[in-house]
A and B are shown apart, each in its own frame.
Chain A
């Protein structure tokens, strides 16, 4: 079984950047509308909403949904 080195690197980065406390997908979803508007306003999301920011670094599915939401709001501006 061959493993893509990029996938491995991404896993290791993911592992090393793991925080003791991370919110789950439900809590991220609850706050995602607020988070996306902060992003649109060009504010520093890592400072303003660090837990959501962190979750999106570790969760590909929530990240996809965030990017789709961002694209919609930018496209409809």
Chain B
């Protein structure tokens, strides 16, 4: 396959050679995506084809936004990964209700007991317990309900941002900002607690 410079990719995709160029680009992206998803049992060859088709459409649509700050193929692979991962996350979490998972953490007098680290000293375990109880209280006291739900889902259930966002009627970027605000509040509150930062960091190890 002929190697193209960035400018050649752009020119060929915009010109009469578009169809052959898309075939070449698809071949590169298929190799990349197969490699990236090779350890996943839930991805079929058909899935990869679908992801690549969606990627090519997105690339043509966004061609004018390519800034030339990297190789064109790097930029294209990036888009392919975003499309594939978004869809795979959507599938994996399709049947999961945000309410159901957050409700498992709801209780007005709830104190989370930690799994005991069998190798840790009693002192370390007690310090970790204190940290857990403190942080949990701050989550309950300082965060808005939306922030609390998002934080629980993302942190404790590893729910993808766009999946939480979708259920909360927002988007991934806005959800990141929501969580950032939550973290800022928690940071400020944690630093005002009687546990010193030094103690916290030592506890974390």
Which residue numbers of A lie inside 8 Å of B, CB to CB?
1-5, 7-16, 18, 20, 22, 24-26, 29, 31-34, 36-37, 58-61, 64-65, 68-69, 71-73, 75-76
Contact = CB atoms under 8 A, between A and B. Distances in A.
A33 B70 CA distance: 6
B81 A25 contact: no
Contacts of A1: 104-105, 110, 112
Interface residues of B, number: 51
A14 B135 CA distance: 12
Interface string B101-113: 0001100001011
Given A15-B190, A16-B197, A25-B161, A61 B172 contact: yes
B89 to A, nearest CB: 8
A33 B128 contact: no
A61 B160 contact: yes
A69 B112 CA distance: 37
Most B Cβ at <10 Å: residue of A10, A16, A59, A60: A16
